[in-house]
Chain A
Amino acid sequence: AQSVAQPEDQVNVAEGNPLTVKCTYSVSGNPYLFWYVQYPNRGLQFLLKYITGDNLVKGSYGFEAEFNKSQTSFHLKKPSALVSDSALYFCAVRDPTWDMRFGAGTRLTVKP
């Protein structure tokens, strides 16, 4: 079955430190991978995607993600976290039927 796993329910980081939000996937064929962010009582905002090409993908708000085929991972990173980055982050993968499969989400808290 096609799926996405976000192994951490919660990630806590101090402001100014680097952050990583982890995602692993299981899908047949070449994966289409996405990261979204959700602020309280709001819809999801697209951050970045990997379709093909360079394994390091740069996205909105200074975020980037590294595609690692051998580890089937697509971790979200940012060099220096801001308090305003605190939100719920979702990793997603397109499965072979073109449905989007979402992880359960990781709550990021950045403390001043």
Chain B
Amino acid sequence: DGGITQSPKYLFRKEGQNVTLSCEQNLNHDAMYWYRQDPGQGLRLIYYSQIVNDFQKGDIAEGYSVSREKKESFPLTVTSAQKNPTAFYLCASSISRTSGGEQFFGPGTRLTVL
């Protein structure tokens, strides 16, 4: 059963804490992405990775960090420097970044800062 998994589904963070969101795919896709979704704003790109050990900043990378040590995994860390982290976070993957094909999305993680 191929797809993208994200965990946890819900995450609560206290002020000043770093938290890490998990994203795993078994689609053998080279490219992976992290988006942030806020009500009425669509999706905004945080980071993307085209290949293992490579990643690039998107439009709103400040306060976030990522790693890509394995093809299947692209975890996102929300650091204490992110001033307004409460949002719905979506991970996606595609065959490659430049293929023009669609992206496949995970089920999302809802992060709430207490």
Binding site for B on A (CB under 8 A): 9, 32, 34, 36, 41-46, 49, 51, 90, 94, 98-100, 102-105
Contact = CB atoms under 8 A, between A and B. Distances in A.
Contact of A105 (B42, B48, B92, B103): B42
Contacts of B102: 34, 46, 49
Contacts, number: 49
Given A32-B100, A43-B90, A105 B40 contact: yes
A51 B108 contact: no
B40 A42 contact: no
A41 B110 contact: yes
B43 A42 contact: no
A41 B108 contact: yes
A99 B58 contact: yes
A34 B43 CA distance: 14
Interface residue tally on B, bucketed by range? 20 to 34
Given A43-B106, A44-B90, A94 B42 contact: no
B100 A104 contact: no
18 contacts: A9-B40, A36-B105, A41-B108, A41-B110, A42-B108, A43-B92, A43-B105, A43-B106, A46-B102, A49-B101, A94-B100, A98-B97, A98-B100, A99-B48, A100-B45, A100-B103, A104-B41, A104-B42
Contacts of A100: 33, 43, 45, 103
Contacts of B106: 43
Contacts of A103: 42
Q: Which of B97, B100, B104, B107: most chain A Cβ within 10 A?
A: B100
Q: Which of A46, A99, A100, A105: most chain B Cβ within 10 A?
A: A100
Nearest to A46: B102
B98 interface: yes
A95 B70 CA distance: 27
